Structure 1
Amino acid sequence: MAYYGRKLLFYLAALWAAVTLNFIIPRLMPGNPVDILLAKLQQRGGSVDPSVRRSYELLLGTGGGGSAVSEYFAYLGNLARGDLGISVSVFPSPVSEVIMASLWWTVVLVGIATLLSFLLGVALGALVGWRRGTWLDNLVPSTTVLAAVPYFWLALLLVALLSSALGWFPLLGGYDVVLSPGWNAEFLSSAIYHGTLPALTIVLSSIGGWLLGMRNMMVSAMSEDYVLTARAKGLRGSRVMIRYAARNAVLPSVAGFAISLGFVVAGSIVTEQVFSYPGIGSRLLQAVQNNDYALMQGIFLVITIAVLGANLVVDVMYALIDPRTRVSG
């Protein structure tokens, strides 16, 4: 229990530091972020009244007539109530609604693609490592080359080949614009069809890293005494590979998967931009282009919570899989 308590305290401290930085950074920006946001709002024909100014002041911690400490605690109070302010990019929608409207697109697309690349990479890496020195081992460099190709370049190649040349997939968008979003077969099939090519880009660019890492760990695990003992007992090769070698070799990959799982919320900004996919990455880029500080703060906060939460969950799972970590940790 002491191990889990230390981990929980560590992540709570990291969350507090991230929230504090989210409060401080806007105050270090040149000029007054509130005035910049309201000026953009006026250009878009929005109504600028004291309540709008006050909402931005409370969100960004600028003005309000109080001290920095009182503004900081007011900011924490707003976060506790789920009040992230008003978005300028999608005025007058609250930031929380804007984020939730885009978040599930990214979670479904990048989450499924990340999980598939992890499972395929680990499974193939275990097989290649078990049969090291064979023709399968010679195929590893071809998969790792894809990991070195930039996301945007691979995405553009797939768009040019599979969309423009062959017409197998749509060029852009998350669904057919003539459809209304909803939980019906027509919309879901359209969303899957539009998301296949972006997901394929993520899988192809990620699978090589998981494969190579798992392959190397398998080679190392196969020289351990417990694997040699299992082989000496005459156990089936598949059982030795899965129950003894792969089970221990996969532990570092699980830790790496925690980081990737946390960044699922961040999405793949470049990939979403190439495909004009309506995810959180595209929304973040839009916020940066429009100086929408409230939306940027909200997205950064959600990403931080997702990364910390994913790492905490995997730390707990890691300790359950390998009890030695509870002693050393």
Structure 2
Amino acid sequence: MRYYARKIAFYLVALWAAVTLNFVIPRLMPGNPVDVLIARLQQRGGSVDPAVRRSYELLLGTGGDRSVFGEYFAYLGNLARGDLGVSVSAFPAPVSEVITASLWWTIVLVGIATLVSFVLGVALGAVVGWRRGTWLDALVPSTTVLAAVPYFWLALLLVALLSSALGWFPLLGGYDVVLSPGWNAEFIGSAVYHGTLPALTIVISSVGGWLLGMRNMMVSAMSEDYVLTARAKGLRDSRVMIRYAARNAVLPSVAGFAISLGFVVAGSIVTEQVFSYPGIGGRLLQAVQNNDYALMQGIFLVITIAVLGANLAVDLLHTLIDPRTRATG
């Protein structure tokens, strides 16, 4: 019980440190979100006086006669109430609504692509590792080369080949603009059609890492005594591979997959930009361009919670798989 208490306390401290950095870093950037709103107001012909500026400062919780520490404690109090503030880039929409509208697109796209690449990479890695030294091993370098290719370059290549040249997939967007978002077959089909090419980019880029890791663990597991004993008993090769070798070799990959799920929320920002996909990555870039402190902080907070939660789950999973880690943890 003490071990779990220490782990939870550690992650709570890490969360506080991340929240503090989340507050500080945007304020080190040049510019001010209040100036952005005032510039927009002036472009529309509106008048700007000190009272208007003061109203914006109170609304956004920045500037004015409040000190930095006052802003910090107000920020913590708002987080405790679940209030993430008002977005400048999507003014006057609350940050929570902006994040929710974009988050599901990234979770579905990157989450499903990560799951597919993990399952495909682990399955292929198990087969390649079991048949090491055969022609299948010659395919491993090609997958690792694809894993080293930058997302944006591979995305542009697939767009040029499969969209521009062959016309199999749309160039941009997350769905057909003539449709209204909703839970109906036509819209879901359009979203799947538009998301196939971005998902394919992520799968091709990441499957090689899972394949190589699983292949190496399979080679190591095949020299263990329990695998040699299973073979000596005359068990079928398929059973030895799946029940004995792959079952133990997959444990590090499962831990890595749990951690990668935490980064699903961060999304593939570059990939989303190439395809103009309405995910959280585009919102983050928009927030940076508009000095939207509240939206940046909200997105970073969601990413931080997802990553810390995934790491905590991995730590607790390790204690269940190998209880000896409790003695050393």
TM-score bracket for this pair, using the shorter chain length: over 0.9
Counterpart residue identity of residue 74, structure 1: A
Q: Which 5+ residue runs of structure 1 have no aligned equivalent?
A: none
Provide the residue aligned with 2:60 in structure 1. Answer: 56
Provide the residue aligned with 2:203 in structure 1. Answer: 203
Preserved CA contact (<8 Å) 1:122 1:214: yes
Provide the residue aligned with 1:143 in structure 2. Answer: 143
| CA-CA distance at 1:256 after TM superposition | 1.7
Preserved CA contact (<8 Å) 1:162 1:169: yes
Residues 171 and 68 (structure 1 numbering): CA distance in 2 closer, same or farther, change over 3 Å? closer
Give SS of 1:136's match. helix
Distance 1:152 1:214 in 2: 26
Counterpart residue identity of residue 56, structure 2: V
Provide the residue aligned with 2:300 in structure 1. Answer: 300
Encode CA deviations 1:100-140: one digit per residue, 9 max, x unaligned: 10000000000000011011101110111011011111111
Give SS of 1:277's match. coil
Provide the residue aligned with 2:87 in structure 1. Answer: 87
After TM superposition, the structure 1 stretch with the greater mean CA deviation from structure 2, 48-57 or 152-161, is: 48-57
Preserved CA contact (<8 Å) 2:33 2:88: no
Task: Show the 5 A alignment for 1:151-190.
Answer: 151-190=151-190
Residues 1:326 and 2:318 aligned together? no
Residues 1:15 and 2:15 aligned together? yes
Distance 1:251 1:222 in 2: 15
Encode CA deviations 1:10-56: one digit per residue, 9 max, x unaligned: 2111111101111222444456x354344344346489464432132
Provide the residue aligned with 1:120 in structure 2. Answer: 120
Residues 77 and 117 (structure 1 numbering): CA distance in 2 closer, same or farther, change over 3 Å? same
Counterpart residue identity of residue 187, structure 2: F
Q: Once the two structures are aligned, what percentage of the paired residues are identical?
A: 83
Provide the residue aligned with 1:39 in structure 2. Answer: 38
The alignment's C-alpha RMSD in Å is: 1.9
TM-score normalised according to structure 1 size: 0.92
| CA-CA distance at 1:4 after TM superposition | 2.3
| CA-CA distance at 1:289 after TM superposition | 1.7
Residues 228 and 90 (structure 1 numbering): CA distance in 2 closer, same or farther, change over 3 Å? same
Distance 2:68 2:168 in 1: 56
Distance 1:206 1:3 in 2: 34
Counterpart residue identity of residue 57, structure 2: R
- Aligned residue pairs: how many? 324
Distance 2:194 2:69 in 1: 48
| CA-CA distance at 1:69 after TM superposition | 4.3
Provide the residue aligned with 1:263 in structure 2. Answer: 263
Counterpart residue identity of residue 122, structure 2: V
Provide the residue aligned with 1:216 in structure 2. Answer: 216
